Structure 1
Amino acid sequence: MDMAVEAGVIKQHLIDPEICIRCNTCEATCPVNAITHDDNNYVVRADVCNGCMACISPCPTGSIDNWRTMPVVRAYSIEEQLGWESLPAELTPEELEAAGVTADAADAAEVAEPAPAQASAEAAEPVFHSAQYGATVPPWSAAHAYTNLFPPKTPTTATVVGNFNCTEAGFDSETHHIVLDFGAIPFPVLEGQSIGIVPPGVDAIGKRHHARQYSVASPRNGERPGYNNVSLTVKRVTEDHQGNPVRGLASNYVCDLKVGDTVQVVGPFGASFLMPNHPKSHIVMICTGTGSAPMRAMTEWRRRLRKSGKFEGGKLMLFFGARTQQELPYFGPLQSLPKDFIDINLAFSRTPGSPKRYVQDLMRERAADLAALLKDGASHFYVCGLKSMEEGVVLALRDVARDAGLDWDTVGAALKREGRLHLETY
């Protein structure tokens, strides 16, 4: 019998609450639902985590990569973790010995495996999970991404130089395009990366608010070329997922910012949801709502490269969904992009008098074009938006592949392995 198991000791997986930016990436990625959260912390269920490591690479801050050698009977409970403001210290050899754990057993400690009943249930009834398909590595030609230059404990300051509504005015839904300038502070950022904004003030128990994560909507050389600035796409939150009235703390703070205001910024984050840089590489972008931010950044960078005449890009294809045309961010600017530059497909699910259409419906209508791209190793696929769209989009890709005579298991595995299918949903 394994010495660690015999002694009842494990390496318990924990999340550092001081570094975590509450982006939900770990919970969305975990294939066994071992991660949960409340308004305070993201935590790991010791009795469910199987140490598969699926959550490690996607975490933008590294807060997920923490472990403590613990006697099984003293493993930190969910309730304990939810109340933490910082990680507890590793138990000393003396403390472990007092708990009946020998030094040899502590050295042999391993992550606990899930119960056989759970494993057999999952084997009998496969469940869709993004970790099966989403890449955790960038495309081979992606630029180097700098991350965590300004961690949550030491944010930098940016100045608001622009703020306007990028959806049609006069409707309930309101999405803002925010431009932040970093002045003389270096803040290198790539398309597909994100930053965190720290709302001012404290929460109900007197703690400083956690940073809220937003994808960058501008290309690598700035919202204005050559300037040290970035743009964000932020929807004002006025209701929860059930439609109940609520005032989103961070989104309303950001949407109400005035030119000249300063904000606390952390990041940048993300080293895998990056665009390819090699000639003739194709980009298929599938998004809803503010998930358009990284797609705008990638499109604008390719547009600038095209204008320079120094880069031969491949195809750009966009599938963009919203409830109505009025709620679609950047609708006007999208219409001005040349059709020989980008293939735009818009889906509206709440247009009065029209049937509901979603991005996966449009993908199936364009199956022949998508199948050709799936066969091309230079094609890269990016999905960003609401979590609810993720399964439908991936299954649409699967159906397109199968209908074209492709083996989806082989294609899907290659897309993930080569960093060519990226999923970022919330």
Structure 2
Amino acid sequence: MDTRTNTTLLKQHLIDPAICIRCGACEAACPIQAISHDANNYVVDPSICEKCLACIPVCPTGAIDNWRMVPTARAYALDEQFGWFELPEELTPAQLAEFGAELPDEAAAADEAPQTLAQAEAALAVEPASGDSAPASPAGGYTARTPPWSAAHAYVNLYGARAAHKTVTATCVGNVRVTEVGKQYDTHHIILDFGAMPFPVLEGQSIGVIAPGLDARGQPHFARQYSVASARNGERPGYNNVSLTIKRVLEDYEGNPVRGVASNFMCDLKVGDKVEVIGPFGSTFLMPNHPKSHIVMICTGTGSAPMRAMTEWRRRLRKSGKFDGGRLLLFFGARSKEELPYFGPLLSLPRDFIDLNFAFSRTPGQPKTYVQDRLRERAADLAPLLQDANCYFYVCGLKAMENGVMQALREVAQDAGLDWAELSERLKKEGRLHLETY
């Protein structure tokens, strides 16, 4: 624990359990593993946290940006934090004095306070990688903290614990399976209608769904976050609706049945059923709007949801004659084509509209192929796009794909004679490389 500024007081970094949606983004972003979780809460270890603020920009709700002045010897322990349902009240100066803590002067308090977001961005710059060594930063360190310059304005946190309305009630108006029936998986395309309640969303944003009932502790279920799979004007244009791509696991690796709360609730929805929703979330993983922009989409499984949304919006713009140029490349991975959502509809899209690259890792009689393999195969096309200021890259899917994808992009750049350290930093600063993994 860093107590160089004040030897008796600590400005402790805490996560607000009342508004956290347990998405895991903060834990994934922390470079020193100071954040962990159990079945109840995500927490920050005060003995590890260095206040680098890598976790602040990635939190979709702002739950991560909470601080309490406490005596260093009385810092909130992990076991205490794991049991919280809400943050404790701040200690008053009188209470701090009762603990024998010295109150800091204004200068010391300023030094101890969290950095501004701009200062945090400077501190989070990717360390240059030299030669052919592996990247010095984790893959998540490459993701942009700002949206593309031409992205539409995103509305966030309209509904939630700190909003005027705690939730908004949506109605299920469609539920269709989008993969072949499997023993271990079941993926659905679900459409929710908000009626007269405003719920503006953009491609790349997500919403939180709260399953009905109480958990084992007698508390309401936590919200489950899902990426929006529809274009900004709705799954059905002109209607106030969104679509989601939700996969539920039916059995574990040992063949035992699994019944997750939120995913099963959603996949079992019938037309007319009601769903409590919070959000929307996300202000950076947004698509560019300028007509000459290119988009490279790299995803696995249900990470296809935001890619479907971007593709559909581009398709509608093209159909209306309002889009001028701009390439669309999709690198889509799954264990087999049977597990790949929207496989049939994707194949029906015109080849002069979207460049499709599938990667299947479990096709009988075929070698295992992953999205990073397809990226290397298309190096001649990707190298110019990495240098093109009008091209934007999006990565979404399982956390395990990050390092492989980033290593492949690095190799594509280096084989083309590009300085990856300089290029990756430019991609990040210009809002041209976005990673969203779970």
For the aligned pair, the TM-score class normalised by the smaller chain equals over 0.9
The residue that corresponds to 2:43 in the other structure is 43
Q: Give the whole-Å Cα distance in 2 for the aligned partners of 1:40 and 1:204.
A: 11
Cα distance, 1:287–1:3 mapped onto 2, change above 3 Å:
closer
Q: Give the whole-Å Cα distance in 2 for the aligned partners of 1:72 and 1:346.
A: 53
Q: Give the whole-Å Cα distance in 2 for the aligned partners of 1:3 and 1:158.
A: 48
The residue that corresponds to 2:121 in the other structure is none
Matched, 1:325 2:337: yes
C-alpha contact (below 8 Å) 1:9/1:101 kept by paired residues: yes
The residue that corresponds to 2:127 in the other structure is none
Aligned partner (choices 387, 409, 412) of residue 375 of structure 1: 387
Q: Give the whole-Å Cα distance in 2 for the aligned partners of 1:345 and 1:230.
A: 26
Amino acid paired to 1:37: H
Aligned partner (choices 263, 267, 274) of residue 251 of structure 1: 263
Aligned partner (choices 154, 158, 176) of residue 164 of structure 1: 176
Report matched runs for 1:3-402 at 5 Å. 5-104=5-104, 108-109=108-109, 110=112, 128-152=137-161, 154-169=166-181, 172-239=184-251, 245-402=257-414
Cα distance, 1:126–1:348 mapped onto 2, change above 3 Å:
closer
**CA offsets, 1:324-356, max 9 Å, x none?**
110100000000000000000000001111110
Q: Give the whole-Å Cα distance in 1 for the aligned partners of 2:47 and 2:253.
A: 29
Cα distance, 1:258–1:407 mapped onto 2, change above 3 Å:
same
Q: Give the whole-Å Cα distance in 1 for the aligned partners of 2:3 and 2:183.
A: 64
C-alpha contact (below 8 Å) 2:184/2:251 kept by paired residues: no
C-alpha contact (below 8 Å) 1:9/1:106 kept by paired residues: no
**CA offsets, 1:77-98, max 9 Å, x none?**
1111000000011111011112
Q: Give the whole-Å Cα distance in 2 for the aligned partners of 1:3 and 1:63.
A: 24
Q: Which deviates further from its counterpart, 238-247 or 334-343? A: 238-247
Q: Identity over the aligned pairs, expressed in percent?
A: 67
Q: Aligned-pair distance for 1:66? A: 0.3
Q: Report the 3-state secondary structure (helix = DSSP H, G, I; strand = E; otherwise coil) of the residue aligned with 1:85.
A: coil
Name the Cα RMSD after superposition: 2.0
Cα distance, 1:330–1:71 mapped onto 2, change above 3 Å:
same
Amino acid paired to 1:405: G
Q: Which deviates further from its counterpart, 6-15 or 58-67? A: 6-15
C-alpha contact (below 8 Å) 1:217/1:296 kept by paired residues: yes
Cα distance, 1:90–1:318 mapped onto 2, change above 3 Å:
same
Q: Give the whole-Å Cα distance in 1 for the aligned partners of 2:99 and 2:240.
A: 55
Q: Give the whole-Å Cα distance in 2 for the aligned partners of 1:244 and 1:5.
A: 53
* Equivalences, count: 414
Cα distance, 1:15–1:54 mapped onto 2, change above 3 Å:
same
Q: Report the 3-state secondary structure (helix = DSSP H, G, I; strand = E; otherwise coil) of the residue aligned with 1:159.
A: strand
Q: Give the whole-Å Cα distance in 2 for the aligned partners of 1:22 and 1:385.
A: 17
Q: Give the whole-Å Cα distance in 1 for the aligned partners of 2:168 and 2:24.
A: 23
Q: Aligned-pair distance for 1:54? A: 1.2
